[in-house]
Amino acid sequence: MIERLRQILVKEFIHLFRDKHARFSLIVPPLLQMLIFGYAATYEVNRVSTAVLDFDHSPESREFLERFSASSRFQVRYILQNESQITSLLDHRRVVLVLQIQPGFAELLRKGRTAPVQAVLDGTDSNTALIAAGYINQIATRFAQDYQLQLADRLRPALMTFAPRIELQERPWYNANLEGRWFFVPGVIGTVLLVTVITLTAFAVVREREIGTLEQLMVTPISPAELIVGKTLPFLLVGLATVIITAIAGTLWFQVPFRGNVFVLLLGTTLFLSSALGVGLLISTICWTQQQSFSLAFFYVTPAIMLSGFGYPIASMPHALQLITYLDPLRFYLVVLRGTFIKGVGLGVLWPQMLAMTLLGSGALTLATLRFHKTLD
């Protein structure tokens, strides 16, 4: 049995590395996706195109607007003279934000009253608009606090000694600078691995069926179980190699720290790969052409990534979709990746995710094996 299994593995690796396209797909696309997603995927918003319309023309209004000019979050590109210019700038997407200060802004502040400032946002890009609105509130709140303290200091300086204050001291754990890439790069590793393994596994059996070599294998003294192991084990090793390559690239290029145990990461990767291999093998038993397998693999991979929590918080999804995410092994693997990379935790914390991937992987491989046996028969 071991010798027959070894011959299948040798055949699979020879076929895999003899194909120039396969060699290219195993190395270049994962690294390119790591670089592209590492730079592009982020929740941070910088240099928001901004226009300002100041009807007050007071020192207070100019100081308020200077805080936006000094911030890296906003880029003041236009100084407007009237409201009719706002529509044109937003329609042509020259700006995303327009700050409008009405007359009497400084007078209201000096009287200790609320001075309104209007922020006109382009709502077609709701994500950017929501994040920019949060930055605006931070700048406005800080300006109001500073102005209030300065006003009180001018009017009654003696009272400032006894004025109570609350100072918020932020202490983010694991990611002190709140680097967005530290969140996304481990997620990219999981998504790249999912796409690579499912695509390769789904194509492998279908390609054998298309060129007629699957029937030739079945007339040899090889059992169906040996054939399944021989078909999936090479892609398990390829998946582990992909994780190692992308993890090294993410650590060295994007400076994402790896604080955990390598063996915990490899164990979680193996359990996750069992689910991916099972899905890929199941797709290969359903499809008869490589085009069909590609379409079905894409049909599975896209929802799996969206429901995993990679780009969208699971807590914000409808309750029904939150229940479906428990069938997505990528959801649990991302927790393992971020836990080992950023937190440095071990099996004592990650065992629920490991158990969930074990159950999902066992179910996927069992279903795929039964379907594979039925197809061969």
In tens, the pLDDT along 166-198 reads 666 777 788 777 777 788 888 888 988 898 888
Neighbours of 279 (CB within 10 A): 27
Q: Running DSSP on this structure, what letter comes out for residue 158?
A: G
pLDDT at 163 over 60: no
pLDDT of res. 223:
63
Task: Tell which wins on pLDDT, 28 or 87.
Answer: 87
Q: Which two tokens stand for residue 345?
A: 């935790």
Q: Which residues make beta-bridge pairs with 308?
A: none
Neighbours of 36 (CB within 10 A): 11
Alpha-carbon span 88 to 146, nearest angstrom: 35
Tell me what the mean pLDDT of segment 222-231 comes to.
Answer: 68
DSSP assignment of 42-80 equals: -S---SEEEEEEESS--HHHHHHHHHHHHSTTEEEEEE-
Give the best-scoring range by mean pLDDT among 108-122, 157-171, 293-307, 353-367: 353-367
Q: Which residues make beta-bridge pairs with 79?
A: 52
DSSP assignment of 236-251 equals: HHHHHHHHHHHHHHHH
Instruction: Report residue 254: phi and psi, to 5°.
Output: -95, 0
The pTM of this model reads 0.77
Neighbours of 175 (CB within 10 A): 15
Alpha-carbon span 263 to 265, nearest angstrom: 5
pLDDT of res. 350:
93
Alpha-carbon span 49 to 180, nearest angstrom: 21
Q: Which two tokens stand for residue 35?
A: 């670089």
Sheet with strand 48-54: strands edge to edge: 74-79, 48-54, 97-101, 117-121
In tens, the pLDDT along 88-137 reads 888 888 899 999 998 988 888 888 788 888 999 988 877 788 888 888 99
What CATH number labels 48-161? 3.40.1710.10
pLDDT of res. 147:
80
Confidence of residue 278 (pLDDT cuts 50, 70, 90): confident
The residue assigned the tokens 């004592």 is: 348
- 3-state SS assignment for residue 36: helix
Alpha-carbon span 49 to 87, nearest angstrom: 15
Q: What percent of the chain has pLDDT over 70?
A: 80
Task: Tell which wins on pLDDT, 193 or 35.
Answer: 193
Handedness of CA 280, 283, 287, 288 (dihedral sign): positive
Domain coordinates of the chain in residue numbers?
2-41+179-376, 48-161
pLDDT of res. 18:
66
Give the CB-side neighbour count of residue 184, counting CA atoms within 13 A.
Answer: 19
Cα radius of gyration rounded to whole Å, the chain: 28
